[in-house]
């Protein structure tokens, strides 16, 4: 009996650990990236940045971004229990600040098709229609994204192509800004002191 209990515990532990083992981190990502179902009109991906389908768990794929990045992707959702797919991923912007735009269009074989769903950034979800663009300013650190065609009034089959553009903003970092401000105030005080004497 103890052996069967131990085997059950080992099986449970393996099932809990298995999803974590599948997590993938892609480092030094910038330029053009291809996910899945990329339109033929998309520019070629940078070497090593054709990454394939990312799946439905935002913790499964993490992209460590190091500069301006454009990601081309797509998804297909069929309204059956076996084929309910969405695209989910995490981007790690580090300490840098990025502006991000996400655009999409419902399409099948180059033809426009009805599409609805939602797009979520760090859990804040926005309903989306057949096409459009959403923008997000000042993103930094780890950010999760989920493009979900299951949400809404699903047609028997929905397909969409999408593009995410992340543009790095280059402000003076706060610690350096503080040093510049302190230096400027010190110089002004010194100039004032010299002016009085």
Please state, in angstroms and rounded to a whole number, the distance separating the CA atoms of residues 92 and 2.
Answer: 45
* pLDDT tens for each residue of 54-109: 888 999 999 999 999 999 999 887 766 666 678 999 999 999 999 999 999 887 66
* pLDDT tens for each residue of 4-24: 554 444 444 444 444 444 789
- CB-based contact 149:162 (threshold 8 Å): no
Query: Domain spanning 19-196 has what CATH number?
Result: 2.60.120.680
Give how far Cα 122 sits from Cα of 61, 141, 168, Å.
15, 11, 19
Domain spans, the chain = 19-196
Q: Is the pTM of this model over 0.75?
A: no
DSSP bridge pairs for 92: 64, 142
User: For 6-96, where are the E strands, in sequence order?
Assistant: 24-34, 61-78, 87-92
pLDDT grade, residue 192 (50/70/90)? Answer: low
């Amino acid at each position: 009996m103890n052996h069967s209990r131990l085997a059950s515990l080992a099986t449970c532990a393996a099932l809990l650990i298995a999803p974590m083992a599948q997590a993938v981190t892609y480092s030094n990502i910038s330029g053009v990236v291809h996910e899945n179902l990329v339109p033929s009109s998309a520019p070629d991906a940078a070497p090593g940045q054709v990454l394939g389908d990312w799946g439905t768990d935002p913790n499964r794929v993490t992209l460590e971004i190091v500069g301006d990045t454009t990601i081309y992707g797509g998804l297909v959702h069929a309204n059956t229990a076996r084929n309910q797919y969405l695209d989910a991923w995490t981007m790690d912007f580090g300490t840098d600040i990025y502006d991000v735009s996400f655009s999409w269009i419902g399409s099948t074989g180059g033809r426009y098709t009805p599409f609805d769903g939602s797009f979520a950034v760090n859990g804040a979800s926005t309903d989306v229609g057949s096409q459009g663009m959403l923008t997000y300013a000042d993103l930094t650190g780890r950010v999760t994204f989920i493009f979900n065609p299951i949400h809404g009034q699903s047609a028997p089959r929905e397909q969409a192509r999408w593009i995410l553009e992340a543009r790095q903003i280059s402000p003076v970092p706060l610690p350096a800004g503080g040093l510049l401000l302190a230096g400027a105030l010190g110089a002004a005080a010194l100039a004032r002191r010299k002016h009085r004497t």
